[in-house]
Amino acid sequence: MSTIAETASRAQTRRRVRVDGWRWGGRIFLVFMLLYTAVPMIWMLITSIKSGFAATQFPPQWWPDEPTLASYQKLLDPQNSVGQDFLRFFWNSLFVSTATTILSVIVAVPAAYAFSRFSFPGRNFLFFTVLLRNMFPAVIFLVPLFILMRAIGLVNTHGSLILTYLTFGLPLAIWLLKGFYDNIPVQLEQAARIDGATRFQAFILIVMPLSTPGIIATAIYSFIGAWNEYIYAYTFLSKNEQLTLPVGIQRFFSENTTDFPGLMAASFMMSVPVVVLFLVLQRYFVRALTEGAVKH
């Protein structure tokens, strides 16, 4: 009995040791990555609850002696000018990003479906030219697009940004969604059409619900792209009341004294919508919605 148990436990130990080398290596790597991404965020959060004096001290206070929410109160207070500016920038960003997201979903969904399901002359050519825009650095288009926007009278409007962000986001959105549609068996639509649906109904009732994860991924992608964009917003908009958050924060805090806690509080609040969006929608990413549709 005892010998058997000993042999077994020894074998177990040996096996565990061999596997553990890799597993621990992986864990250490992941911890390192976590620190790399989390520490700046944590530092942002800590700084945002310091007083202006404490933020510039050296050696730094790892945890503020007198934590305060004063920066947040100031930013969210519509009574003072800082709060008014911040809230206006916030709404501007929200408007531009939401509009970009909705438009890009409206355009990308049917486009991706068409690329996936229909064969028409020039399909492959079109499909790759869609990517052409993404083959160049964004700055290259800055001046041409500015001239174009001026010519059509869109400079200093949010429309110029929405249009520009669409040209950034759409190509990848279309590619991403096409992948989703390629993976939805065509027989599902055929079954629906035989069951009495028109082609459009089959798309709306059967295919669209199945591509929800793709549509959500596309939406998040477009939203974040538009929400964080700086250079175009900086170039196309000059009136203070139109600025979006990235430009607004930068301009505001470089014009005033360098108020680090205020800057960090603003940055933190700017990242809140993105995080919330992810937390709410992430479960749709993981679900394999077409499971059980067809037998392979």
Partner 1 sequence: MAHVVLKDLVKAYGGFKAVNDVSLTVNDGEFVALVGPSGCGKTTTLNLVAGLIPVTSGDIVIGDRVVNDLDPKDRDIAMVFQNYALYPQKSVYKNLAFPLQMRRLPREEIDRKVKEAARVLDMTHLLERKPRELSGGQQQRVALGRALVRDPAVFLMDEPLSNLDAKLRVQMRSEIKRFHQDLKATIIYVTHDQLEAVTMADKMAVMNGGNLQQYDSPAQVFAHPVNMFVASFIGSPAMSLIPLTASTANGSTVLTGAEGWSLELSPHNARKVARATTKKVVLGARHSTIKLHKSAVPGAIPAKAYTVEPTGDVTFVQALLSGAIVNISVSPNVAVAPDEQIWLEFDQERTHLFDGETEMALKAD
Are 139 and 231 a contacting pair, CB within 8 Å? yes
Q: Scanning residues 236 to 255, which ones bind partner 1 (CB under 8 A)? A: none
Instruction: Report, in Å, the least distance between residue 259 CB and partner 1.
Output: 51
Contact segment (CB under 8 A) with partner 1 among 32-40, 140-148, 202-210, 214-222 equals 202-210
Can you tell me the distance from the alpha carbon of 275 to that of 284, in angstroms, rounded to the nearest whole number?
15
| CB of 198 or CB of 271, closer to partner 1 | 198
Instruction: Report, in Å, the least distance between residue 117 CB and partner 1.
Output: 12
Instruction: Report, in Å, the least distance between residue 114 CB and partner 1.
Output: 18
Instruction: Report, in Å, the least distance between residue 293 CB and partner 1.
Output: 4
Half-sphere exposure of 176 (CA within 13 A, CB side): 22
Q: How many helices (H) and strands (E) does the chain have?
A: 14, 0
Instruction: Report, in Å, the least distance between residue 188 CB and partner 1.
Output: 5
| CB of 138 or CB of 197, closer to partner 1 | 197
Residue 50 burial (C-beta neighbours within 10 Å; 0-12, 13-18, 19+): buried
Q: Of 51, 201, 228, 250, which lies in the binding site for partner 1, with binding defined by CB under 8 A?
A: 201
| CB of 162 or CB of 206, closer to partner 1 | 206
Size of site (CB under 8 A) for partner 1: 24
Q: Where are the beta strands (DSSP E) in 35-173?
A: none
206 sits near partner 1 (criterion: CB under 8 A): yes
| CB of 54 or CB of 192, closer to partner 1 | 192
Can you tell me the distance from the alpha carbon of 272 to that of 42, in angstroms, rounded to the nearest whole number?
14
Q: Scanning residues 159 to 198, which ones bind partner 1 (CB under 8 A)? A: 185, 187-188, 190-198
Nearest CA to 211 out of 184, 171, 172 is that of: 184
Are 156 and 234 a contacting pair, CB within 8 Å? no
Can you tell me the distance from the alpha carbon of 61 to that of 200, in angstroms, rounded to the nearest whole number?
62
Contact residues: partner 1, CB under 8 A: 185, 187-188, 190-198, 201, 206, 209-210, 289-296
